[in-house]
Amino acid sequence: MKLPNITEYGSHRDWLIAACVAVGVYFGLRLIGFVITRYISSMAKRESIETDDFVAQAFISRTKPSFLLIFALYAGCLYLRLPKQTDRLVGVMALIALFLQFGFWGNGIITYWFSQRAKKKAEEDPGSASAYSVINFLSKAALWSLIIILLLDNLGVDITAFIAGLGIGGVAVALAVQNILGDLFASISIALDKPFVVGDFIIIDDLMGTVEHIGIKTTRVHSLSGEQLIFSNNDLLKSRIRNFKRMYERRVLFQIGVTYETPYEKVAAIPTMIKEIIESLDQTRFDRAHFFKYGDFALIFEVVYYVLVPDYNVYMDRQQSINLAIYRRFAEEGIEFAYPTQTVHLKKPEDKS
């Protein structure tokens, strides 16, 4: 097998220059990266500079050595008279490497930006991590789609026909995976509108629990009984959701009944008694107490008050204190609670004789 004569593609001097250029470009770029990294490290020790951190994470750490090697070889080949096919192959390799490197840099920029935003929002909004993860994923998908389209366009591929084909295929794929896409768009809606976030206590129909994770397809909720509930995002948004974490205060309505034998004066005084009991407790606000209606076996009173904190245990503690205080006060006043009773009136038939 006859080996090609390298002098056909340039003189020995050209090959030497090409080799020197390739080596020089490669190590020169590595040296620049090393110097920048050392500079950023030294600056980070003295003071926190966000721009330096951005350059380090988004560009320096994302620069691939393989890209530097291909770029150096391409720069060296410019000094040689390579065959047309070989020259085109080298150019295509350099173009692919360049676009991939742009993709890695863009990926780093997106990752850095979303990580910084999520870090700043983490304390004030625990659910922002889930929101940013969804948008981060979609941003990267859009970036790489654009990179691939631009790369194919520069390689001579008919982008118009390609995009048209993608459009037709996209419709078919969308019909096949419409449930998945529905969950995806539902997750975007949850991320942007935030009807609930991680850590919220929610009730969906007859199921309840604390939100643990909001994903691209499902949301996971830790129920009160201990098991994990998994909801499809699309189905979740179609449901009626009650978010108790965002409750600022709790409205409480309850009714009590007293016997019909209760004297008028004491019936009229009951709303005032209940008002005094509720107003004597902390973390409560009295709203109203009324003689509501005549029941089947009791005089019904309706009471409304507010617990000024959303905590359920605090609500139960206040309700228990109110119930005990009403029980004691009624016992002192001689007022009896009503319970289901029936009075049977017997009438002796008249003697018609």
Burial state string for 175-193 with b = 16 or more CB within 10 A and e = fewer than 16? eeeeeeebbbebbbebbee
Residue 43 above 90 pLDDT?
A: no
- Supply 100's token pair: 């991939």
| pLDDT of 173 | 58
Answer for the pair 220, 212: CB distance below 8 angstroms, yes or no: yes
Q: Quick one: pLDDT at residue 278?
A: 95
Do strands 284-294 and 250-258 pair parallel, antiparallel, or not at all (unpaired)? unpaired
Q: Choose among 196, 208, 205: nearest CA to 243.
A: 196
- Please give the domain boundaries of the chain with CATH numbers for all domains: 1-121 (no CATH), 124-244 (2.30.30.60), 250-333 (3.30.70.100)
How far apart are the C-alpha atoms of 240 and 196, rounded to whole Å? 12
Q: Where are the beta strands (DSSP E) in the chain?
A: 201-204, 207-214, 218-223, 228-232, 241-243, 250-258, 284-294, 299-307
Question: Contact 281/326 with Cβ under 8 angstroms?
Answer: no
Does residue 208 or residue 126 have the better pLDDT? 208
pLDDT at 337: 93
Quick check: 276 pLDDT over 50?
A: yes
Residue 217 has pLDDT above 70, yes or no: yes
- Portion of the chain with pLDDT greater than 70, in percent: 75
* Residues 71 and 21: beta-carbon distance below 8 Å: no
pLDDT digit string, tens, across residues 112-148 = 777 777 666 665 555 555 566 667 777 888 888 888 8
Three-state SS at 343:
coil
Whether residue 321 is predicted with pLDDT greater than 80 in this model: the reply is yes
Structure token digits, residue 70: 């291909």
Q: What is the pLDDT of residue 3?
A: 42
Averaged over 62-77, what is the pLDDT? 78
Using the structure block, give the residue that is written with the tokens 């009136």. 345
Question: Of the spans 20-34, 175-189, 279-293, which averages the highest pLDDT?
Answer: 279-293
Q: Average pLDDT of the chain?
A: 79
Please give the Cα distance from 73 to 25 (Å, whole number).
9
Q: What is the rounded CA–CA span in Å between residue 111 and residue 246?
A: 30
pLDDT tens sequence across 81-92: 777 777 777 778
Higher local confidence (pLDDT), 155 or 332: 332
pLDDT at 199 over 60: yes
The pLDDT of residue 227 is above 80:
yes
Looking at residue 292, its pLDDT comes to 94
pLDDT at 56 over 70: no
Phi, psi of 340 (to 5 degrees): -60, 120
SS3 assignment, position 244:
coil
Q: Who contacts 148 (Cβ-Cβ below 8 Å, separation ≥6)?
A: none
Amino acid at 6: I
Ranking 139-143, 169-173, 190-194, 233-237 by mean pLDDT, the lowest is 169-173
Question: What integer pLDDT is reported at residue 2 of this predicted model?
Answer: 46
Output the pLDDT for position 12: 65
